[in-house]
């Protein structure tokens, strides 16, 4: 299981890169939108991992604890991918779809031809957050330290972002 974990890490990086590219293509050319497949990593218990051949284990370097995971493939409907061309908003959407921030920044730079792009300071009003697509709002929350666990609702994300950007 531990050897499978290393291979899964490489595979997940490749899948995240492919997902990010598909999301960017769908976001910058809304007339060609189509559903996108996303791999979601799900933590499972030890018994489930032992009985499922697709499960893998990872050892947490900080605690030494072994955790078990299983990948699921989920289809993201085209309607869930907002049409954006602003680099900051596109970056937030990518982070909202669980693309690592460094990878999201590089992809935005290359796909939009913005080599000097740096994710900016976040300063959103409640009205701004109400109008932004859910994926972008989730990206803003993730940028501010939100860990996507369980069911995230628009209200939960708005409260989290508001609590983090208050001065």
Secondary structure (DSSP) of 99-150? --HHHHHHHHHHHHT-TT---------HHHHHHS-HHHHHHHHHHTT----S
Domain final residue pick, 78, 106, 134: 78
In this structure, what token pair is assigned to residue 145?
């330290």
Domain final residue pick, 61, 78, 95: 78
pLDDT in tens, 109-141: 888 776 777 776 667 778 888 888 888 888 888
Task: Verify that 86 and 72 share a domain, yes or no.
Answer: no
Q: What is the rounded distance in angstroms from the CA atom of residue 126 to the CA atom of residue 80? A: 21
Task: Verify that 156 and 89 share a domain, yes or no.
Answer: yes
Task: Verify that 157 and 119 share a domain, yes or no.
Answer: yes
Task: Verify that 65 and 25 share a domain, yes or no.
Answer: yes
pLDDT in tens, 51-85: 888 888 888 888 888 888 888 888 878 777 778 87
């Amino acid at each position: 299981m531990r050897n499978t974990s290393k291979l899964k890490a490489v595979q997940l990086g490749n899948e995240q890169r492919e997902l990010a590219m598909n999301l960017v293509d769908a976001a910058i050319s809304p007339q060609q939108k189509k559903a996108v497949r996303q791999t979601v990593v799900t933590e499972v218990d030890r018994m489930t991992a032992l009985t499922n051949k697709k499960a893998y284990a990872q050892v947490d370097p900080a605690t030494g604890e072994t955790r078990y995971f299983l990948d699921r493939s989920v289809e993201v409907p085209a309607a869930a991918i907002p049409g954006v061309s602003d680099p900051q908003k596109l970056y937030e959407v990518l982070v909202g779809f669980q693309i690592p921030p460094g990878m999201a920044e590089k992809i935005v730079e290359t796909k939009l031809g913005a080599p000097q792009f740096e994710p900016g300071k976040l300063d959103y009003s409640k009205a701004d957050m109400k109008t932004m697509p859910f994926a972008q709002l989730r990206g803003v929350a993730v940028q501010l330290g939100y860990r996507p666990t369980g069911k995230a609702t628009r209200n939960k994300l708005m409260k989290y972002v508001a609590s983090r950007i208050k001065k």
